A = this chain, B = another copy of it.
């Protein structure tokens, strides 16, 4: 039986199994899901075990556990470490989901659910590819290791310690990660760059109590006025980040980068249509691919304060909050960027308000040279399955641990993604196109065999 027939005849069973994992609401950011995190880790461990992995173990951490498993019986062959994550993003606003986020539903050949593509669906491909190889060939063409964590969506605070502590066990010639996307349907891509990330929470406080806007309005500081003034000051009229020194360490745009972007033939018109936008928006002088691939950004992810209910409430709220993340490129230092933003905010606070800044995550940007043979072979594997050789792209997202994995394990990181750009990651109606579920299994098999 060839692999295509094998995967086809097992497809229903596989999707049912994946459905079990997806049904566990393993939201790492919300502490009430602690027991779901453990259930998801156990499910992954069982699944690795059933696939034929050995030494399967759940390692507790100060946060959520890490699942490990290996099959290392291919002397002389390279060792591949598959990294992925079983945790998912929160699901609000819940009312915008067309089917419940933790009830996997197939519509239009797409699997809808939180985690369908990011990243439960994609780690599942690697487990089932390994299982298939052991079923059909009775052996693996490489030494294979799995390291599946539960804190990727909260920037992997505990994985770096685990990597350093278990450096020998995890040693590999290549780190294989499926947590990125094709360029568009039928056009595979291998990500050779990820932006770094830093994040912060900003709180503004004024009086010691909420005040009536009739009695006090106009005469006391309003925390919301102070906050929107601060937040609006973070960008200038050209869409640039207005924090002094923010762009330190950002590489110049070169002709080479311009050429690479040109080659992608990306359609901004198509994107505008998909998102129902009259126009895109961003830093003046750059297109969408440059803005999201090689330029840094500062985004407001949440702003809130005062009355949010039905109707009117004439209140001057005593506090207001914002959540901010930056995407970083080149040599931008996350700590330095956080400090500069904090100083910027502090310097222009309106009278009568107190500012509190909580610095949260910090991760550097990552890049890899596309000429690395481990990447070239990955591009070949895509070509065999998709009929099109993968392009080398830079992704605007951050998988902070990629830079750490590559540095600690001294191995190239191959980002072999099977998602699509519009699959609503981190948003309502996340989904995974099943065409790439099928082709992903085959591409992984091809790749492992080619090494």
Contacts and interface: CB of A to CB of B under 8 A. Distances in A.
B215 A313 contact: no
Interface in A317-358: 317, 320-321, 323, 325, 327, 350-352
A216 interface: yes
A218 B285 CA distance: 12
Among A96, A213, A313, A320, chain B packs the most CB atoms within 10 A around the CB of A213
| Chain multiplicity (copies) | 2
A314 B325 contact: yes
A333 B221 CA distance: 26
Contact of A220 (B221, B228, B281): B281
Contacts of A315: 301-302, 426-427
A269 B209 CA distance: 17
Interface in A156-207: 181, 195, 197, 199, 206-207
A414 to B, nearest CB: 19
A251 interface: no
Nearest to A205: B276
A418 to B, nearest CB: 15
Given A218-B292, A280-B220, A281-B220, A306 B303 contact: yes
The A interface is mostly helix, strand or loop, or mixed, namely loop
A299 interface: yes
Interface stretch (A40-48, A52-60, A395-403, A438-446): A395-403
B281 A352 contact: yes
A428 B421 CA distance: 46
Given A312-B325, A312-B361, 10 more contacts: A92-B309, A93-B210, A209-B424, A210-B424, A213-B426, A215-B396, A218-B297, A219-B292, A222-B300, A224-B301
17 contacts: A90-B313, A154-B311, A197-B314, A209-B429, A214-B395, A220-B280, A220-B282, A225-B235, A227-B303, A229-B232, A232-B232, A232-B233, A303-B304, A303-B305, A304-B308, A308-B321, A314-B325
Q: Which 4 A-B pairs have the closest CB atoms?
A: A214-B397, A218-B297, A29-B311, A232-B232
